[in-house]
């Protein structure tokens, strides 16, 4: 054990970030703007305001201000479950016999079980401030839906959640957590929306996808007085709020006098990865420091590693704006792999641009190897990780083992986004030796690409 590095580093409340960091301000090549799906012209604030809260629209479109104040109410809420610890994985290092120094930023110590609460509370705050009655959203693994239901309960907002059907069935208790916080939860696709009916007619028996659930949630938000839609990933505003993860990590590392070499995060829509790397990426963009960034995605849904960089629909129902991103096509319905939070066909436009500019790497990993890493991590470090987070663990372990071969003492940081307490159906499959891997064929992907819109 390094004498000056504790197992866990917490910031004092007075050291916690008072501003979010907006990485777009430091990007030379800005992420491409959202387009109106009909006119193919950039979405205006007015158009976006039909779907999103006004203040969030401003944040969505702001690619010039590097820092945006965190309102005091949100700072106060953050203090209820933050700062999250920066943990030195001494036991994992020892078990691997690696000279690498492994750290993780653990975001799972709150009831939503993940980092999702960081943006949920911000979005609920702005909705409340605008005088809205409630919000609608989708959820995959259920972590975002839980986070939003917690945030809405705190501010007294109604919360309508569309939950991807496969997750709804695999995670019955997630629904009860959301209900305990007063939210309503509908499995998606559902018969309660036009777009849900259409998808069910076209794909009877579908287990759903985030893309479907988004379409349903947007339809309800736009059609209900006093409601807006909120989203837990992909959007610029979400990456902005999630920058609190990276900001806290950076401050903690500075206190310790340590600089990471490699920063690893799992990537579904990009909320965790974007939030974790943003402030470090800012340094890299400004030429102040260099880091290796690695996005980890499931090989069953490989938007960065095998997708196309193109304008695409954010949702299956094609009701949302077009976003330029690495995508598998909005018609791509991923296999029912167990990392529900990573089952999205596209990727944050900010991260897509950074990846296209070769400022970030990406790898894809298979499910069984992810759960092997998850089980190892649970037994050694004590925390039962979410399947999503375990993608990052897998690659952190792989990088640490490379260091063992080369003898390099690299410092690795990965984002441990959440806990797997509601993922025991997946763990059970793994424990019983029944888990399989799925890698889409080129033909599978071609079908998704065929649906890309012309822009």
Q: Where on the chain is the footprint of a copy of itself (CB under 8 A)? A: 1, 6-8, 10, 12-13, 76, 79-81, 91, 109-111, 113, 150, 153-154, 172-173, 176-177, 179-182, 375, 378-384, 419, 421-422, 424-425, 427-428, 430-431
Minimum Å gap between C-beta 325 and a copy of itself is: 32
Rounded CA gap, 183 and 145, in Å?
A: 9
- Using the minimum distance from each CB to a copy of itself, give the nearer residue, 17 or 113: 113
Minimum Å gap between C-beta 117 and a copy of itself is: 8
Query: What residues does 228 pair with on adjacent strands?
Result: 135
Minimum Å gap between C-beta 102 and a copy of itself is: 13
For 40: left if phi > 0, alpha if psi spans -120 to 50, otherwise beta; the answer is left
**Closest Cα to residue 348, out of 279, 432, 256, 268?**
268
Number of H helices, E strands in the chain: 18, 15
- Using the minimum distance from each CB to a copy of itself, give the nearer residue, 152 or 333: 152
Minimum Å gap between C-beta 179 and a copy of itself is: 5
CB 9 within 8 A of CB 106: no
- Using the minimum distance from each CB to a copy of itself, give the nearer residue, 154 or 449: 154
Burial class (CB in 10 A: 0-12, 13-18, 19+), 62: middle
Q: SS3 string of 88-108?
A: ECHHHHHHHCCCCEEEEEECC
Longest CA–CA span in the chain (Å) reads: 63
- Using the minimum distance from each CB to a copy of itself, give the nearer residue, 173 or 446: 173
- Using the minimum distance from each CB to a copy of itself, give the nearer residue, 242 or 419: 419
Minimum Å gap between C-beta 90 and a copy of itself is: 8
Minimum Å gap between C-beta 87 and a copy of itself is: 8
Q: SS3 string of 272-290?
A: HHHHHHHHHHHHHHCCCCC
**Closest Cα to residue 33, out of 448, 453, 455, 330?**
455
Radius of gyration, CA atoms only, the chain: 20
- Using the minimum distance from each CB to a copy of itself, give the nearer residue, 1 or 446: 1
- Using the minimum distance from each CB to a copy of itself, give the nearer residue, 60 or 381: 381
Minimum Å gap between C-beta 415 and a copy of itself is: 18
CA atoms within 13 Å, Cβ hemisphere of 440? 27
CB 427 within 8 A of CB 117: no
Minimum Å gap between C-beta 282 and a copy of itself is: 28
Interhelix angle 236-256/117-129, nearest 10 degrees: 130
- Using the minimum distance from each CB to a copy of itself, give the nearer residue, 100 or 384: 384
């Amino acid at each position: 054990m390094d004498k000056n590095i504790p197992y866990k580093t917490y910031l004092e409340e007075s050291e916690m970030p008072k501003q979010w960091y907006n990485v777009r301000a430091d990007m030379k090549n800005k992420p491409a703007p959202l387009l109106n799906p009909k006119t193919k012209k950039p979405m205006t604030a007015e158009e976006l305001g039909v779907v999103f809260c006004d203040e969030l629209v401003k944040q969505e479109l702001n690619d010039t201000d590097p820092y945006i104040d965190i309102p005091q109410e949100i700072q106060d809420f953050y203090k209820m479950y933050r700062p999250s610890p920066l943990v030195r994985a001494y036991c994992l290092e020892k078990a691997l016999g690696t000279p690498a120094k492994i750290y993780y930023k653990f975001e799972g110590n709150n009831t939503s079980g993940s980092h999702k609460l960081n943006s949920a509370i911000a979005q609920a705050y702005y909705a409340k401030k605008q005088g809205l009655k409630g919000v609608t959203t989708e959820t995959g693994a259920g972590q975002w839906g839980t986070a939003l239901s917690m945030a809405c309960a705190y501010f007294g907002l109604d919360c309508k959640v569309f939950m991807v059907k496969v997750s709804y069935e695999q995670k019955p208790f997630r629904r009860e957590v959301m209900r305990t916080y007063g939210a309503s939860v509908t499995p998606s696709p559902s018969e309660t929306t036009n777009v849900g009916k259409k998808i069910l007619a076209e794909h009877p028996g579908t287990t759903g996808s985030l893309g479907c659930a988004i379409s349903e949630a947007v339809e309800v938000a736009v059609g209900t007085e006093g409601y807006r839609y909120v989203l837990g990933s992909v959007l610029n505003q979400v990456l902005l709020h999630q920058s609190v993860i990276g900001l806290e990590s950076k401050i903690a590392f500075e206190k310790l006098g340590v600089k990471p070499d490699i920063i690893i995060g799992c990537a579904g829509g990009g909320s965790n990865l974007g939030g974790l790397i943003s402030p470090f990426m800012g340094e890299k963009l400004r030429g102040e420091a260099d880091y290796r960034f690695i996005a980890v995605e499931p090989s069953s849904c490989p938007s960065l590693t095998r997708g196309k960089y193109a304008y695409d629909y954010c949702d299956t129902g094609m009701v949302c704006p077009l976003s330029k991103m690495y995508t598998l096509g909005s018609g791509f319905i991923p296999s029912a792999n167990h990392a529900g939070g990573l089952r999205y066909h596209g990727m944050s436009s900010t991260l897509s641009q950074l990846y296209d500019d070769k400022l970030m790497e990406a790898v894809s990993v298979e499910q069984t190897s992810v759960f092997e890493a998850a089980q190892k991590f649970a037994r050694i470090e004590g925390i039962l990780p979410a399947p999503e987070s375990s993608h990052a663990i897998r690659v952190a372990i792989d990088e640490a083992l490379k260091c063992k071969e080369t003898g390099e003492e690299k410092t690795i940081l990965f984002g441990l986004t959440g806990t797997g307490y509601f993922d025991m159906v997946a763990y059970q499959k793994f424990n019983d030796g029944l888990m399989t891997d799925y890698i889409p064929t080129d033909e599978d992907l071609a079908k998704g690409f065929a649906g890309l819109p012309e822009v």
